[in-house]
Structure 1
Amino acid sequence: MLIIMVYALVQALLMHPSYSAAVCDNSILYPAPIPLGVSGRNSNAPCGQNGTLGCLVQDPAGNQYILSCNHVLSRLNQDIGENILHEEPKNCGSNRVVAQLTKFKTIYFDLPGFNNYVDAAIAKVVRGEVRSDGYINCIGKVSSWVLQDTPLGLEVQKSGLTTGLTEGRVIEVGKPVGITYEGHSTIMLDTIKIEGINGPFTQRGDSGSLVVTKAVEGRHPCMPVGLLFTGKDIEQTGIACPIVHVLDAFPAIAIVGTNEVPKFLPQGTISSTTISQLQTVIKRHQANLIQDKDVIGLGLAIPLGGNTPVIKIHVVRDDEAVRRRLPLHLDGNPVLIEKMESFELN
């Protein structure tokens, strides 16, 4: 009898809305309706190939969907209609179907000239299986208002399967990155690079996490910034697609969250005036510079150990011949030339 009573008490605690914030463990099996930010896997993906069920979105008809990465929900450009499971990554076989794959943004591999901006997919929620308020484990409800532009130096957070709740700082915007996945390669343009604070921002299994700002009472709630899709443990960094690109990939879809109107937009550690001036310089020179066959794109970055933003020219190869062709300053602003970083989808 005592065992039954204890079990009932545990189940009641699991169902309580405050449980998610108190436990903050995204790797366990949650009873329905589950919060977001927890473990998920395509039913046809190998056992253990789990990612994060990032957040909840909704269409004008009121249909709700889980938003996560293409490579998490659709096994990378695979079949619509496949089941999405909620399960512990080391204990497969739960058969807890929480959604069905509905749509994904195709990622083009090994096709020069095709531009990728998003690693994202949506899966229609099975009624009663997912919290309808968009609650993200460890974070809570986020804003349905999203950041249109990501400020350098902005402090952000995410809730993911492997590392749980982590905090970071935006150190690059407009960054093109090389992507490899199961022997195939491509380029993802205009990404956000995030440096972890007091540890890694992400590890394998965190892909699909929604990156949001921290809430500041009286100014703004947690506002969506991007969708995390890869990173590097050794650098303690993560790479995210800007949330505006993600939502553009699924017209009429909006993030489910609080409708609290931000009184002030979140700010980074770099002056918005400085950023605006540098963005203007980039726009003035970008069309000309990308005519160079070795130039992939231009972005803004905070150099390691510094706090002064610089313009970066990202190139496919970095040698003396390339550097002779490219400027070291643009309109008097210093320029860093950097070989494009490569990442594996995780």
Structure 2
Amino acid sequence: MIDIDELNADASVTAEGIAERILAWAKHRNLFDKVPLEEGIEEDQNELRIGSTAFQAQAAEQILRKRSINLIGFSEPEKKIVIFTHTKVTKGDEKALPFSISGYKIEYMQGGIAQVKGNPPPPQRPLPFYQRKGFYACGSSIYPAHCTGAGTFGLIVVDANGQLYGLTNNHVSGACNNAMPGLPILAPGPLDATETACDPFTIGRHSRLLPINDGIPENIQIDDNWDASIFALSDPARVTSFQGDKYDTPPNVSDPQPGMRVRKVGRTTALTSGVIVAQSASPVPVAYTVNEYGVKKNVWFKKVFIVVGDDGVPFSRSGDSGSLVVARNAAGEEVAVGLVFAGNEQRGISFILPLADILQRLDVHIVSGHNV
């Protein structure tokens, strides 16, 4: 019997620890939606007892089985656990569900499968790119030359030799693991090279990527999955580190934290804002359907944060992949925290990866103040 109330005095008890126990209990009770999430969760054979009733109550278990859990997240700063369900928890359901555990809040949100899709919709502003003072800006459309598609130019980075690169997702400029070194990356992307667009040009050539390998956590090293790619800038004099026409790329990077207010500039939805509601308590399966590359697979990611846009407006949509996510730290300084890489438009949620880990793995640093 696991009684979290008995662990309350233990300093090692955390929101993440409680969320992991709920996950294991939910798997044992078969409360998950029909997605591969449970394949990444270690089952706890013990009963989960939280207080005298809580999740042990039969009514609560029946409700969560009916609504189907598809993700559980946590917020350490807010002492909160977030349970995402396939169908919305109703007012009637709330009467039988717990809303706190040992001083930790529980919230219920309607969630959905994390998805990466190609064939992005038209941009929500007149043009899918920004030209600021004649320079092509971050937050604009890019894509490899050999496919008709579009994603987002996230930011400019530099290596130890002073070489400047553009950074975005692997599934944007890395051709879903298939890009050969030197592959031209066009700006705007071929899908956006219309009669009203600026003349397309080779903004850079593919250099390196972090992979997106399918396979369940038991079979592959999902720690290697980061969905990021860099391309060497062909002419740094043609681009700027400014994010659209809104603000410059912050010079400093920080870890994303649930509760942070965030914003981004992207190819499809331009400037949007929202809040990081949780960090996933378990590896997250992401459904990739990128017809441009003939890719259809599930890819698992270990460290994922969930963002909800303000006022019911999606934080991101297809085509915004690769967008830089920024926030303000405790000192009020603007910092770069992540990259948009997936979403669920039906549920209005976006998924981001921590930027600091990506920069470290690629051995590059942020460039700010370039042609601003």
> Map of 1:277-292 to 2, 5 A cutoff?
none
> After the TM superposition, which residues 104-253 of structure 1 pair with which residues of structure 2 at under 5 Å, given as runs?
104-110=209-215, 112-115=219-222, 116-128=224-236, 130-132=238-240, 134-148=241-255, 150-175=256-281, 176-181=283-288, 182-198=295-311, 199-214=313-328, 219-251=331-363, 253=364
How many residue pairs get aligned? The number is 230
Aligned partner of 2:207 among 102, 113, 128: 102
Aligned residue number for residue 90 of structure 2: none
Give yes or no for contact 1:29–1:86 (8 Å, CA) kept in 2: no
- The answer to whether the 8 Å contact 2:274/2:310 transfers is yes
Equivalent residue, structure 1, for 2:136? 34
- 1:63 is aligned to 2:168: no
CA contact (8 A) 1:138 1:164 kept: no
Q: Is the 8 A contact 1:37 1:52 kept in 2?
A: yes
SS at match of 2:304: strand
* CA deviation map 1:264-321 (0-9, x unaligned): xxxxxxxxxxxxxxxxxxxxxxxxxxxxxxxxxxxxxxxxxxxxxxxxxxxxxxxxxx
Q: Residue 327 of structure 1 corresponds to which residue in structure 2?
A: none
Give secondary structure in 1 for the equivalent of 2:248: coil
Equivalent in 187, 206, 209 of residue 86 of structure 1: 187
Q: 1:44 aligns with which of 137, 146, 149?
A: 146
Aligned-residue RMSD, C-alpha:
2.6
In structure 2, what residue type is equivalent to 1:195? Answer: V
Q: Secondary structure of the equivalent of 1:249? A: helix
Structure 1 pair 151–202 and aligned structure 2 pair: CA distance change class (3 A)? same
Single out whichever of 108-117 and 197-206 deviates more from structure 2.
Answer: 108-117
Task: Identify if the C-alpha distance between structure 1 residues 164 and 51 changes in structure 2 by more than 3 Å, giving closer, same or farther.
Answer: same
Q: Which amino acid in 1 is paired with 2:299? A: T
CA distance in 2, matches of 1:131, 1:90: 18
CA distance in 1, matches of 2:266, 2:252: 21
Q: Is the 8 A contact 1:210 1:226 kept in 2?
A: yes
Write the distance in 1 (CA, Å) between the matches of 2:127 and 2:194. Answer: 15
**In structure 2, distance between residues paired with 1:228 and 1:173:** 14
> Offset at 1:95?
4.1
How has the CA–CA distance of structure 1 residues 25 and 193 changed in structure 2, closer, same or farther, with 3 Å as cutoff?
farther
Does the CA contact (< 8 Å) of 2:155 and 2:167 recur in 1? yes
TM-score calculated relative to the size of structure 2: 0.57
Is the contact made by 2:210 and 2:225 (CA closer than 8 Å) also made in structure 1?
no
In structure 1, runs of 5+ residues without a counterpart are 1-23, 260-346
The percentage of counterpart residues that share the same residue type is 24
d(CA) in 2 for partners of 1:54, 1:129: 17
Structure 2: gaps of 5 or more residues: 1-124, 289-294
Distance 1:190 1:237 in 2: 16
